[in-house]
Chains A and B, each alone.
Chain A
Amino acid sequence: GAVVSQHPSWVICKSGTSVKIECRSLDFQATTMFWYRQFPKQSLMLMATSNEGSKATYEQGVEKDKFLINHASLTLSTLTVTSAHPEDSSFYICSAPRGGVKNIQYFGAGTRLSVL
């Protein structure tokens, strides 16, 4: 079964509104989570690394004020797309490394955001 839960799976919003996406690790603690953006038929683009109890680390070119990340607990990270515009429409997906020798990243099911 899924080890990382992401909600909502699909959201449609009006331009100018904010949208919050949740990412939860279900049976393990994750001090780090990752947020990706994926355009159709393209690879995953890392947006930011979410760190529990501290500020997120954003990749170059990603607007910190546009994509707010909060990692408030060891099992929950949220991504808020603020004042969303049509160009923010995309597939957003989170992941969490489970630790251990392999430290595999497990992914949420993703969120399809459509901004009208």
Chain B
Amino acid sequence: AQKITQTQPGMFVQEKEAVTLDCTYDTSDQSYGLFWYKQPSSGEMIFLIYQGSYDEQNATEGRYSLNFQKARKSANLVISASQLGDSAMYFCAMREGWERDFNKFYFGSGTKLNVKP
């Protein structure tokens, strides 16, 4: 089974509107971390937001928030007030286990977001 599932290959959103990118994960570990990255056409991977499995509150970073529903094993990214510069690929990722340097990340297949003017 896939560790991270992103079911939306592509999404469109009108500028200034909010958009939700879906992510579900699969793990039997009690301790894990969930991450979202943005990859513009230039190729760099930009860290956006982190949610720990024991965090009770949803993470927020500026216009980004993570809708964490542990029982459903979902970690959706919400982008508020979309901007043209938000057009990019977005990847959801998970790190299983305790925070160790050698713990690798599992990435989803990504969602291509297009923001329309």
A→B interface (CB under 8 Å): 30-32, 34, 38, 42-44, 46, 49, 51, 91, 93, 95, 97, 99-110, 112
Contact = CB atoms under 8 A, between A and B. Distances in A.
Given A43-B108, A49-B102, A103 B33 contact: yes
Counting chain A CB atoms within 10 Å of each CB, the highest count among B43, B91, B100 belongs to: B43
Nearest to B44: A109
B29 to A, nearest CB: 14
Interface of B: 33, 35, 37, 42-47, 50, 52, 91, 93, 95, 99-105, 107-110
A103 B103 contact: yes
A104 B47 contact: yes
B1 to A, nearest CB: 16
Contacts of B47: 104-107
A95 B45 contact: yes
Given A30-B101, A99-B101, A43 B44 contact: no
A34 B104 contact: yes
A37 B44 CA distance: 13
A43 B107 contact: yes
